[in-house]
Each structure stands twice: as C-alpha cells, then as structure tokens.
Structure 1
Amino acid sequence: MIIAVVDGQGGGIGKSIVERLRTEFPKGNVRIIALGTNAVATGQMLKGGADDGATGENAIVHNMKQVDIVTGVIGILNANAMMGELTPAMASAIGASSAEKVLLPINRCGIHVVSVEEASLGRHIDNAVSVIKKVIAEHRG
C-alpha cells in the first residue's frame, strides 16, 4: 500500500501525520510518500519518517495516479488553498484520484465542515490514522 501525505506552507501538519503513520506502520509495512507544495513542506515530512518525497505540481499530479490512500487537510481538494500554493491542477488531480481520501477537517481555506466534533489536531490525526488502518485491513481482506 502507498500512502501519500500532501501538505504545504511549513509542512508541520504533514510531518505530524507522517510521524503518527510511521508509529502505526513501521518501514516495510506501507510506503509513505511526502508530497509537498514546496521544498520546506516536503523536507519536514521526510524528517517525520516518509519513505520518499517529491515537491510541486507535477509531483502531486503524477503520484495521484499511483497511490492507494491520500491524506492531508481537507483544503487539499480546494484550488488555491494554502495561500495559493495548492494549484487548481493539484486539487483536481487529488479529487479525481481513485485513491481513498482521508482528510482532516481543519476549518481553513474557506471550508467549514459542519457536524464534526471540535478536536485538537492530534485527535484529528489519530482519527485519520484509524481510518487508514481500516482501509488497509479491508484492502488486504
């Protein structure tokens, strides 16, 4: 299974997601790819334990055809999110990907997810990892 973590700006949320995923899935169990909208974000996620990393629009668009799961904040589906770092092509590729999308309901980028519990970032990441574990278990059947 290949999990893509998409993040931009400083890469802090992506790094936290990667660290938590790496705790649940030691190297060799799943492949975690860090896809950053910029080199700083990619670098942070690599420091968090991602197996590979790539940066920019082409990297994100290209890899969406190959990953099984994509995770990040819900804004990665929104063109021009992350202060314009997430291009329309990136958002379109993520949205059109056949990968399972496990998104954190962070109310930024002009998107407000309703009927979702208010929780800390850490709790949202824990919830996302739980869903990813379930998806992997169902896939392995």
Structure 2
Amino acid sequence: MKIAVIDGQGGGIGKHITEKIRREFPENTELLALGTNSLATSAMLRAGANEGATGENAVIYNAWRVDYIVGPVSILFPNAMLGELTPKMADAISSSPAVKVLLPLNRSKINIVGIKNEPLPHLIEELVKRLKELTEVNRNKK
C-alpha cells in the first residue's frame, strides 16, 4: 500500500498527517511526501515519510502511482496555497485513480458547507480513522 501525503507552504499539516499515519499504520506502509516546495517535503520526510519529491512534476508523476492521496482539500483547487498548487497539480490529483482522503479546511475563499469547525488534531484523527477504514475495505476485496 502506497500513500501520498501532499502539502505546501510550511508543510505543517502534512507533517502532522505523516506522523499520525506512521504511528497508526503497519511498518510496511509506504509514505510518499509530495511537497509543493522543498520546505513542505522536508517537514514530511522528518515526520517519517519513506520518500519525498517536490514540485509540479513530482506531484503529476506520482499522483498516478499511489493507492491513496491525503492532505487538505485545497490540493484539488488550482492556485491554492498562495499559488503553490498549480492547475496541472490540481488536475493530476483530482484525475488520479487513487482514493482521496482530504481534510475539510475552510481557509480560503471556498467554504464547504456542512463541515463543523474542529481543531486540526481532531480532523487529522478523523482522516487517519477513515483511511484505516478504507484500507481495510480494499484489503478485504483483494
């Protein structure tokens, strides 16, 4: 099983997601840190990702080579993260056959209705819980 964690800017959200997945999933789970910049990639690598890659081409290339993609919902939006997430990145992520498990952060001009405002640690807890459920379901199908 290969999970891509995608983040940008300082990589803080991706770092926390990576740490939590690393603690909760089996050792043989491959975690790939995909940062929109080197600072984000570096933070996720320090948090326990097996490998890391940075930038537009890395995201486009790897979005099709992983089973799951996790990160903030903004990774689906062109020009998100102060422009770090390019339209090509957003297209590759949203078009990827990987299952996406995303944090519903309302930090931009896009507001997702029906989402309760929870502290980030609670949202990451929910993300990892859902990812576990999905990986179990998919493991049982095989």
TM range (shorter): over 0.9
Q: Secondary structure at the match of 2:81?
A: coil
1:1-141 to 2 correspondences below 5 Å:
1-28=1-28, 30-141=29-140
- List runs of 5+ in structure 2 lacking aligned partners: none
For 1:132 and 1:48, the matched residues in 2 are separated by 18
Q: Secondary structure at the match of 2:6?
A: strand
Percent identity of equivalent pairs:
51
Deviation at 1:26, TM superposition (A): 3.9
For 1:36 and 1:103, the matched residues in 2 are separated by 15
RMSD value over aligned CA atoms? 0.7
TM-score for the superposition, normalised by structure 1: 0.97
Q: Secondary structure at the match of 2:110?
A: coil
- The amino acid across from 1:99 in the alignment is A
1:30-72: per-residue Cα shift (whole Å, max 9, x none)? 1110000000000000010001100000000000111111011
4+ residue stretches of structure 1 with deviation over 3 A? Answer: none
For 2:98 and 2:108, the matched residues in 1 are separated by 22
For 2:75 and 2:63, the matched residues in 1 are separated by 12
Of 111-120 and 68-77, deviating more is: 111-120
- The amino acid across from 2:82 in the alignment is M
Q: Secondary structure at the match of 1:137?
A: helix
- List runs of 5+ in structure 1 lacking aligned partners: none
Deviation at 1:27, TM superposition (A): 2.4
Of 105-114 and 9-18, deviating more is: 105-114
